[in-house]
A and B are shown apart, each in its own frame.
Chain A
Amino acid sequence: MDPLLSVRDLKVEFDTRHGRVTALAGISLDVMPGETLGIVGESGCGKSITALAMMGLIPNPPGHLTDGQIVFEGEDITRASPRRMRQLRGRDISMIFQEPMTSLNPVFTAGDQIAEAIMLHQDVSKKEAWEEAVELLRVVGIPEPRRRAASYPHEMSGGMRQRVMIAMAISCRPKVLIADEPTTALDVTVQAQIFDLMRDIQEKFGVAIVMITHDMGAIAEMADRVAVMYAGRVIEQGRADDILDDPRHPYTSGLIGCIPALGREAASAERLPPLAEIPGVVPPLHLLGAGCAFADRCPLVHDRCRRERPPLAPHGMAAQEFLGGHAVACHAAEREIAA
């Protein structure tokens, strides 16, 4: 199967007071039709910039997409005209954000905003669009959808607003839905409802989802495949189960190790042992050197790591081959696999 959306060697830089800083240092990803690709990593690693690039929304200035391609159904959209990009956005590729309040217009009702999104891409009357909006609100699980269509965003709870965002995002049956931390602002019981809804919608409409999160638990629940990012790079990529059960990059296993255990299995009368720690902090992007960005925090570091950046694929393997499997950007992991 061909990927629906392929990112190849994408590079994004920003003008900052430290000069030109590389936010994405050549990342490659594939999104297959109908699957959920999880993108996980700590704050500042480049998750949102990756999402914005897929939407053609890198703010310029100060951002610059300096290299690489984003291929959607055979078309390199980094070269698409603004007009063509507006056409794709919302219709073929749509996005939901962390805080729905900032992306909904406070002075229009939920129904108006969804109807507007529908009329932008489809040749339907106002009345038809409104009926479709009500139907979408029902699909995303809003009770009394006809009454709620006439409500303003501030009259709704955070969970309901996120449902409205999802209704709007799927209104034109997109092929890719990008969700950037869609539940971070919500309570955990409401997050569970939104996750359930996103899985339902995927099943119903076959939409591919790019799920951005810093929560490995959310990855486990939502993702078929995962890309783990660190300091502007994808450092490990593969099937979610492989990454979670058999992480190869010391950063990935570190991240998994520092999550506190939860529930009956950990309900011992004894105190739980200290959490595993990754020492230190993520280095600022403008101070990254030539070697592996994780070297200063890595328990497996050796000389070569500081000199030479480990590539994501094992040497000599084409991108196409490795992206289907389990790829790691680590000299130590590579040695282990070769052995």
Chain B
Amino acid sequence: MSFDGHPSAGPSGAAPLAEQPLLEAVGLSVRFPMPKKSPFADRDYLHAVRGVNFKVHAGRTLGVVGESGSGKTTTAMAAVRLTEAYDGAVMFEGRDVLKMGPEALRKQRRDMQVIFQDPYSSLNPRDRVGAIVREPLDLMDVGERKDRADRVKELFSLVGLRPDQMALFPHQFSGGQRQRISIARALATNPKLIVCDEPVSALDVAIQAQVLNLLRRLQDQFGLSYLFISHDLGVVQFICDDIAVMYLGEIVEYADRPTLFAAPRHPYTAALLDAAPSLARRKSAGYSRAGAVKGDPPSPMNLPKGCAFAGRCPRAQPRCKDEKPMLRPLEGAKVACHFPLEG
């Protein structure tokens, strides 16, 4: 097994769209059983992800954005089979990850790795960080022992850590450095896809910038694909090529970056953009939030019949409460709304 990189993206911009996506989710659904109210009652389910479709293309980044509880993490974890889906398919280079047997899945894991949000809890405090980064190589029997040690050294330099730090423990590093360790670990097996679940949310903005730049450099160098989860639209606009906006377990808008940010079509996307604090909106100038939404998201246990956003939507009409809007194409985007915004 060699550690050679995948063909890298062009020097400027994201990789061009290939015919076949690297990963494609079709009708992906996840539900969690709720505790029974009585031994004789039917079991209730929380439908965390409800039939989502998306594609991650080689060398590109798909962003998943939405508020807390919208199902971002569950979607991503189901796509790499760290959470069990109950319906749908996830095709990775044409093969359904959800149907793989244990051995095939173990091999597949070399190609799909994960970086988690919390750089404090995602690293075992009792292991030296060199061993943490080497672990995926050991688990997946990649390379000879000696090569693995060299590979770990190489990974440390790749993510901007010094090889002499390999013998230290996680608590001896700052939050940003710990996230670099997580990134090195994810890169170890030379994967094609890395799921990044809020990788910079716990970091201060100065450290966040360092880590985001690093992730993009690595993407260019190795032709990586990212499935990138964030609730921060600025971060998403910086790093993502395509974006799926989730609300209560469903994708409500799906578009490439320039299309989405030039003209959000779903009222929820517009509300997210409107709500995000911006340096341009000054107290001194006085400002108003035209599209401000009211209230909180409804409970996933108690889904409305029509549009899930209807209760908070400034554009809602009677039809929205009765009839569920389907995700359908609209001028280069896909939008699930009866009354989408003008482009």
A: residues with CB less than 8 A from B are: 36, 42-43, 157, 159-160, 187-193, 195-196, 199, 214-218, 220-224, 239-241, 244, 254-256, 258-264, 266-272, 274-279, 281
Contact = CB atoms under 8 A, between A and B. Distances in A.
B234 A262 contact: yes
Interface in B214-263: 216, 231-235, 237-238, 257-258, 260-263
B272 A189 contact: yes
B296 A241 contact: no
A262 B205 CA distance: 14
Nearest to A199: B283
Given A217-B277, A278-B206, 11 more contacts: A43-B204, A189-B67, A192-B275, A221-B283, A240-B282, A262-B261, A262-B278, A270-B13, A271-B13, A274-B213, A281-B174
Q: Which interface class (under 10, 10 to 19, 20 to 34, 35 or more) fits B?
A: 35 or more
B211 to A, nearest CB: 10
A193 B312 CA distance: 12
Contacts of B124: none
Contacts of B280: 220
A174 B231 CA distance: 34
Contact of B257 (A258, A259, A267): A267
B271 interface: yes
B238 A260 contact: yes
A262 B177 CA distance: 26
A42 B175 CA distance: 12
Contact of A274 (B68, B206, B216, B276): B216
Contacts of A222: 283
Interface of B: 12-14, 67-68, 174, 176-177, 204-210, 212-213, 216, 231-235, 237-238, 257-258, 260-263, 271-284, 287, 289, 292-294, 296-297, 312
Contacts of B282: 220-221, 240-241, 244
Top 9 nearest A-B pairs (CB, nearest first) are: A217-B277, A258-B209, A267-B261, A192-B275, A260-B234, A260-B238, A275-B209, A267-B262, A187-B67
A259 to B, nearest CB: 6
A255 to B, nearest CB: 6
Contacts of B294: 193
Contact of B205 (A193, A214, A220, A239): A214
Most chain B CB atoms below 10 A, which of A195, A196, A217 = A217
A216 B283 CA distance: 13
Contacts of B277: 191, 195, 215, 217-218, 220-221
